Structure 1
């Protein structure tokens, strides 16, 4: 029996590299400054909850801003909103570096996210403009490889910059990153929006576009699955510093190394996903990975609640649960973008906003339940992954039993 699937498209590596860099705005902006939070608190006379609010403000900006860039990229083209977002990111990064109080920094971080989220929204839309469903999943996995370098390298580099020149220099580096990416976009990124997308975008307002998408059951399923899967990552990001350095008493250096190691796990899984897609469809991989994620999260919760093995059980299981994110993220996004390709920008925005919105809620829940143990982080991750599986099997993939056969 011959394989009826179309052959994989040739990969334009220069484009993938640029699009991967565009998706790195968020991890660069988050991971570079995590180890600087204590120094920021001392410098600006801020309480720990106020310094943590700079992270929450960034999540909120990422969730809100994508609702603007998605429809704008369908209507105006991919390049203009992207360049505008990068300009906003650059200006806000400089304000962050010059902040004189914590409230100014919180506000600047919010605006920084409003600009930086343009990169991820437009990058995903460009991928869907150029590729079909299966190839979109492959290219998104490659972009994860590039984007994944940020959480591996950014904490180390940010720590070195902070030690050498102070926390303000970290935001200076982020501003420089915005300049480099902006110039790269001007030189190398051509317009990819189709005439069909333009015609549809001009015929409806953004609210109507989002309303149409939300009436599509499969797309809602992919969006919820992707958002709740992403929420596990944000739960880990917000809880990891306290868990690793507070609960388990490790140094900032060990924290950065463990953070990088978990990022490598996500990157590795995303590349395993790319290999699996040679023999299976994105939906088949997604269904099986979802089951695996629940198993890993259940064992993590069991270890966290019983205390069996302590950190030597919790940390490896945390690595396993996070790594499966690399098998699911690209496939949920590819699935959603395949439902209505003519609204790729709006779909990308909806997916990204849902992910950051769910991440903000999950991070808040983890903080609210904080008790100095790994139980809140493990419990929230397990709940999110169960919800993600329900969205996959009940909404996105009504024939999921056949997919696992």
Structure 2
């Protein structure tokens, strides 16, 4: 029987796995200007290295789920971590911006498995009654990453240049790789009955996508969540290039604004005692839209300085902290047997929308953040439109129309039980967790 010490080790290792991608996203943000100067491109082009990472994360969500079930947890995990290490070294040696953008995509394909596997292994190593507690601990690891990663990155950039960030990533993940190889037990035996043929996998995803409840809340939530990716990709342009702040000051501001997103996601747990996920999601999305419209109107008129920009971004991110967990819970609520596939498809849309929309940041100039603010407003408004159009169809779907007809599901309970809606674990950044 596993001891308390072995449980602590496994939780710590799962926590280390779960923050690989968040650190890979946030740690090099203070280096944008330095990378752009050395590679002789505008910072807006370097923002595409974030977009390519997001695209890699989105695609990896879809592919790693079946692989982790078919081959067990360790083999895909070892492959992905090895790929991440090699791609990180390649990023440090990249001779130009296009190579760096491409290698960041490869890095994300490798790193994505760590996040997917860490969630899956919670069920492998811990009884169902302890899953929520363990997932909460993993969320704390993820929540701390945007507070620490930019500051750590700034110290490394100041001491040894931007390339050191990627070399340190390679070293740390290499250590995690060794721990997985030699100390982590295999929590799931390979299952050869799992099909890896594209046909059955795509067919299941298509059935899920056709469910009105999933489609409504997945798309509306993904458009809302795209604001977070746009902010992450655009924040160095807004604060370092636009307001001419130092990398150290930027890392502090990034951490403070992250508190808005993280804090609101925790407040959501309390709000679910008095309101349903549907109510919270609608009102938070309305707040996000109003904040974005105020932001883009004032920015176009030249009204907002640094303090006003900070305040508006804090409120905007806090709204996303409320929309994200509730949209995810509502989208997944009709599914039982195929919850894993539904979760993977949801993650694909969240990360994919954010990646594609954040590409628009390349249209900004190094000293004009207005296009970034416009993207924040457009995505929020589109998310509200999707919700208002689709929520009536999502509400009237009968239980037997669920994407898992062999697994009866009480749709009414999902509609009226705030506790159930709030129980689906969702990671930020990403990810979702």
If the TM-score is normalised by the length of the shorter chain, which range does it land in? 0.7 to 0.9
Q: TM-score, normalised by structure 2?
A: 0.76
Q: TM-score, normalised by structure 1?
A: 0.81
Instruction: Check 1:303–1:102 CA distance in 2 against 1; reply closer, same or farther (3 A cut).
Output: closer
Match of 1:226 in 2: 221
Deviation at 1:319, TM superposition (A): 0.9
Q: Does 1:299 align with 2:298?
A: no
Measure the CA separation in 2 of the matches of 1:333 and 1:13.
29
Match of 1:354 in 2: 349
Instruction: Check 1:336–1:200 CA distance in 2 against 1; reply closer, same or farther (3 A cut).
Output: farther
Match of 2:319 in 1: 324
Instruction: Check 1:308–1:101 CA distance in 2 against 1; reply closer, same or farther (3 A cut).
Output: closer
Q: Is the 8 A contact 1:283 1:403 kept in 2?
A: no
Instruction: Check 1:78–1:382 CA distance in 2 against 1; reply closer, same or farther (3 A cut).
Output: farther
Match of 1:266 in 2: 261
Instruction: Check 1:51–1:308 CA distance in 2 against 1; reply closer, same or farther (3 A cut).
Output: closer
Q: Does 1:55 align with 2:75?
A: no
CA deviations on 1:94-136 (whole Å, 9 max, x unpaired) are: 222333444443332121011112233344556689899xx87
CA deviations on 1:173-228 (whole Å, 9 max, x unpaired) are: 21133234445556457636999xx8675797222222222112211223212321
Q: Does 1:177 align with 2:156?
A: no
Matches within 5 A, 1:2-81: 19-45=14-40, 48=43, 50-81=45-76
- Secondary structure of 2:338's partner? helix
Deviation at 1:297, TM superposition (A): 2.2
Q: Does 1:191 align with 2:172?
A: no
Q: Is the 8 A contact 1:128 1:344 kept in 2?
A: no
Return the match for 2:83 from 85, 88, 94: 88
Deviation at 1:316, TM superposition (A): 0.2
Measure the CA separation in 1 of the matches of 2:367 and 2:41.
22
Number of matched pairs: 388
Instruction: Check 1:141–1:361 CA distance in 2 against 1; reply closer, same or farther (3 A cut).
Output: farther
- Secondary structure of 2:205's partner? helix
Measure the CA separation in 1 of the matches of 2:147 and 2:269.
20
Measure the CA separation in 1 of the matches of 2:86 and 2:32.
21
- Stretch deviating more after TM superposition (233-242 or 63-72): 63-72
- Secondary structure of 1:341's partner? coil
Return the match for 2:151 from 151, 156, 162: 156
Measure the CA separation in 2 of the matches of 1:318 and 1:165.
31
Deviation at 1:343, TM superposition (A): 2.8
Q: Is the 8 A contact 2:64 2:113 kept in 1?
A: yes
Q: Structure 1 unaligned runs (5+)?
A: 1-11
Measure the CA separation in 2 of the matches of 1:217 and 1:76.
33
Instruction: Check 1:342–1:122 CA distance in 2 against 1; reply closer, same or farther (3 A cut).
Output: farther
Output the aligned Cα RMSD.
3.6
Instruction: Check 1:78–1:344 CA distance in 2 against 1; reply closer, same or farther (3 A cut).
Output: farther
- Secondary structure of 1:308's partner? coil
Q: Does 1:253 align with 2:236?
A: no
